[in-house]
Structure 1
Amino acid sequence: MAFTLPNGAVMSIAANFGPVTPVTAVSNANPAVATAEAHDLVIGNVVVVTSGWTRLNDKVARIAKADEGTFELLGIDTSREAVYTPGAGAGSVRAVSAWAQLSQITEVATSGGDQQFTTFGFLEEDDDRQMPTTKSPISMTITVADDPAQAYVPVCEAADEAKETRVVRLILPNGSVIYYNAYISISATPTLSRNNVMTRAITLSLASRPTRYQVV
């Protein structure tokens, strides 16, 4: 049994990305291995994956092993061939090259991710049945103290204007890390409430399920 408080957690947003690296194939394995000629990725790089496999597309992964022509996507399991059709996973990756810390966070609220169900019944039964279907989209609202001088502000505003996804990294106090790939929006004006700190809201609308790495 283990538990921890969020106090001391640090959240950052990708400020810059490296060049797009074409991926000619992704293996059906756990962890998945990508084939990319003349790539310059190294162990520890954090990448966003574009793939012909819908469940892999837009995922964030960390490079665990990098050899000439191949690299390993830590924590990414593509071994289920019924879902990951062999030979159809090609695409590209982009590595995060710089981070900007989302500092002075006062609160983080998460919504969505709830399991949805379909309800049905048979003529001969008195009670209805239910089966799980999809999960609702996940959003996170990060409340920050209003400080336009912070480095993350133009990064968030640019992502909001472009309506493009950015990687967000959450480092927890125990050293584990969660990566999100999300569309970013930021409130244009701060809250104004007497005797309260002015704040702005940064909203993350997740484009894929988060990737979590435990402390080794």
Structure 2
Amino acid sequence: MGVRLPNGATIYIASGYGTSKAMSVVSNANPAVGTLEASHGVGVGDFIEVTSGWSKLNNKIVRASAVATNDVSLEGINSTSTSLYPAGTGIGSVREITGWTQLQQILKTSSSGGEQQFLNYQFLEDDAEKRIPTNKSASGLSISIADDPTLAGYVLASQANDDRLPRAVKIVLPNQAIILYNAYISLNKTPSMTVNEIMACEITLSLLAEPVRYAS
């Protein structure tokens, strides 16, 4: 149990990717182990984007915790449940993230979506409704940055806004914990202009998968 302040957290956007490498097998294990094609180049501690037939793994950004020739352990991915991760169907590909660019001058962040949706129902003989959870609404993260179009983070966010290609996003908290997202990035290039307030631009992340979190 504990409480923390976000002061000092830093946010990074992926600025480079390696070539896509086929993943021919993914084990039902904790952590899941993916078998990559030869000469994949992924090393321990590298961050990779995963494309997989498993919906709960697809589009996630994960870290390689161990590498044995072509077998790469996907840190934090527990695929032991064959009902959630059907055996033999998780194959796909990975891309190594080769560089990160810091998003500077962040004023505030806020999250949206992710709310649990429900189906309400009632039988004829009942005098009260029941409900069961269904899906969750689409999730997003809004980031307000002080306006400076010359900063490398702004330039990269602008590029992501224009090319409409997903980017990995990494948040490093003050205690060195890490939060990883894969998202489409949108940038409102018109800054806010309010008397006696910092001019700011809004960046929006539209998330493609649930975040992956590491303690360090």
**Correspondence 1:20 to 2:33:** no
2 CA distance for matches of 1:101 and 1:36?
29
Aligned to 2:33: 33
Native 8 Å contact 1:141 1:203 kept in 2: yes
SS at 2:20's partner residue?
Answer: strand
Do residues 173 (structure 1) and 174 (structure 2) align? yes
Kept in 2: contact 1:142–1:202 (CA 8 A): yes
Partner of 1:81: 82
SS at match of 1:24: strand
Counterparts of 1:37 and 1:49 in 2: how far apart (Å)?
14
Query: Is residue 3 of structure 1 aligned with residue 3 of structure 2?
Result: yes
Hey, what does 2:155 align to over in structure 1?
A: 154
Q: Secondary structure at the match of 1:158?
A: helix
CA–CA distance in structure 1, aligned partners of residues 205 and 37 of structure 2: 33
TM-score by structure 2 length? 0.97
d(CA) in 1 for partners of 2:32, 2:143: 32
In structure 2, how many angstroms separate the alpha carbons of the residues matched to 1:89 and 1:125? 42
For 2:146, the equivalent position in structure 1 comes to 145
Residue 211 of structure 1 corresponds to which residue in structure 2?
Answer: 212
Cα drift, residue 88 of structure 1: 1.2
Correspondences of 1:15-164 after superposition (within 5 Å): 15-38=15-38, 39-164=40-165
Cα offset for 1:95?
Answer: 1.2
Structure 1: runs of 5 or more not aligned: none
Q: Which runs of 5+ in 2 are unaligned?
A: none
Larger CA deviation: 39-48 vs 82-91: 82-91
Q: Once the 2 structures are TM-superposed, how far is the Cα of residue 17 of structure 1 from its aligned partner?
A: 0.9
Structure 1, 205-214 or 11-20: larger mean CA deviation: 11-20
Describe the SS at the equivalent of 2:160: helix
Match of 1:208, SS state, is: coil
The answer (yes or no) to whether the contact 1:15–1:152 under 8 Å persists in 2 is no
What's the CA shift string for 1:3-34, capped at 9, x where partnerless?
11000111111011111111111111110000
1:111-159 CA distances to partner (integer Å, 9 max, x unpaired)?
1111111100111111111111111111110000001111112211121
Aligned partner of 1:206: which letter?
L
**Count, aligned residues:** 215
Are the counterparts in 2 of residues 46 and 95 from structure 1 also a CA contact under 8 Å?
A: yes
Normalising by structure 1, we get a TM-score of 0.97
AA in 2 matched with 1:73 = L
